[in-house]
Structure 1
Amino acid sequence: MLETDQILLFASTAVLLAMAPGPDIIYVITRGVTQGRASAMAAAAGFSLGNIAHTLFAIIGISAIIKASAFAFTLIKIAGAVYLIYIGIKIFRSGSAKAGRDNKLLAPKTVFIQSVTANMLNPKVAIFFIALFPQFIRTQNGHESIQMALLGVVFIICTFFVFSACALFSGQIGEVLKSKNNSSGLLNKLAGTVLMGLGVALALSKR
């Protein structure tokens, strides 16, 4: 089991890390601005719950393999980058004449699935988990795997708290901007460009 001070220290760290600029929080904000609170909340939930997989990866050692293997890291990184660029293109095109057809891909359920997938395809998150969690494991508090699982739950809750706040705020901004004529298409093009840029940045990034 985890001790109270152990949980509080880890939760404080998790909140600060969740607030740091990154593809996940930027994605949540762009969804809020372009589609409103519902889609932004779906993205927040997706990126938060996607950490369940990374917690499991850390427990069973897959994260260690990714950290040790340059090939595995690069393969997953490129897959994640391509996926972000793909989503960015879809959002960008939704601001064009084809919006009627492409908007079907922007339902909250799809946003949630996209967010989970994008989170899982980010190898830096996997390495981050295997680097962070051991710092808060205490041998006297029981099996390490159980402690890592509980820390994963705390991390997910903290991440969702931060991302939800960003989702609600950006969603409110989006509603205001959408009330202005011809702003929706421009916002989609801007959001799509941002996500494509994040995908390129991920592809070119190092460990």
Structure 2
Amino acid sequence: MPDTTNLYLFIVAALLLLIVPGPNMAIVSSHAVAHGWRAGLAAALGITLADVLMTIMVSAGLGALVMSWAPAFDLLRWAGAGYLMWLAWQALKAPSTDTQSQATQASMRKIFAQSTLNSLLNPKALLFFMVFLPQFVTVGTSSVTSQLMFLGLLLALIALIFHALLGFCAGQLHMRLREGMISKRLGAYSFAAVMTVLAARLLLLNRPL
């Protein structure tokens, strides 16, 4: 386990990073606005699973091994962008039903899986774990691997709490839209727009040096 000073710095840094708008925040918010707070929670749990898997990869040295293969970064970002565009298309071509029916159709298990895969297909997420976690490792106190695992799991837990709260708040907007009888397709259009923007963001990423 890292020393107390490093641990406090890690928690503060993690919180500061989480409040900066990013892809995960957009994923959770868009699902919650489209389908309610349960969908936001499912997305938050999916992102958490991806965080745990990336922590294991970094701790075992697999992350560096993957990124050592030159085309890996480009393959991941193109696959991720393609997947996001597919999600946008699925949202747009869905039948125009009321909001409650949409919530039923978008099963929590499906949203959970989509959010997990979306995070895993973002090469910047893996690079972030590879660069961020080692900064807070305390040399000489315990094994580097165990410290990386501890820090990664702690980050995943903090992110889960933050994203769950975000999903709940965004879910309130879903309720207001439904009660206000605003366009039944607004949630789907908003979700498709977010997915398209995230796909464009991935495509415009430069390869790491």
Q: TM-score, normalised by structure 2?
A: 0.90
Quote the Cα distance in structure 2 between the aligned partners of 1:184 and 1:30.
15
Please state which structure has a larger fraction of its residues in helix.
1
Aligned residue number for residue 17 of structure 1: 17
Aligned residue number for residue 202 of structure 2: 202
C-alpha offsets along residues 135-185 of structure 1, whole Å, 9 cap, x if unaligned? 111112210000000001110011112111210110011111122225231
Q: Tell me the SS of whatever aligns to 1:141.
A: coil
The answer as to whether partners of 2:36 and 2:103 remain within 8 angstroms in 1 is no
Quote the Cα distance in structure 2 between the aligned partners of 1:173 and 1:101.
17
C-alpha offsets along residues 22-75 of structure 1, whole Å, 9 cap, x if unaligned? 211101001111111000011011112210111111122232234433311100
State the identity %: 27
**Residue type of the alignment partner of 2:48:** S
Aligned residue number for residue 154 of structure 1: 154
1:102 Cα deviation from its structure 2 partner: 8.0
Structure 2, unpaired ranges of 5+: none
Aligned residue number for residue 38 of structure 1: 38
Aligned residue number for residue 111 of structure 1: 111
C-alpha offsets along residues 97-142 of structure 1, whole Å, 9 cap, x if unaligned? 7x99987651111101111111111111111111111111111221
Aligned residue number for residue 2 of structure 1: 2
After TM superposition, what 4+ stretches of structure 1 lie above 4 angstroms from structure 2? 99-105
Q: Tell me the SS of whatever aligns to 1:139.
A: coil
Does residue 172 of the first structure (1) align with residue 201 of the second (2)? no
The answer as to whether partners of 1:94 and 1:185 remain within 8 angstroms in 2 is no
RMSD between superposed Cα atoms in Å: 2.1
Q: Tell me the SS of whatever aligns to 1:32.
A: helix
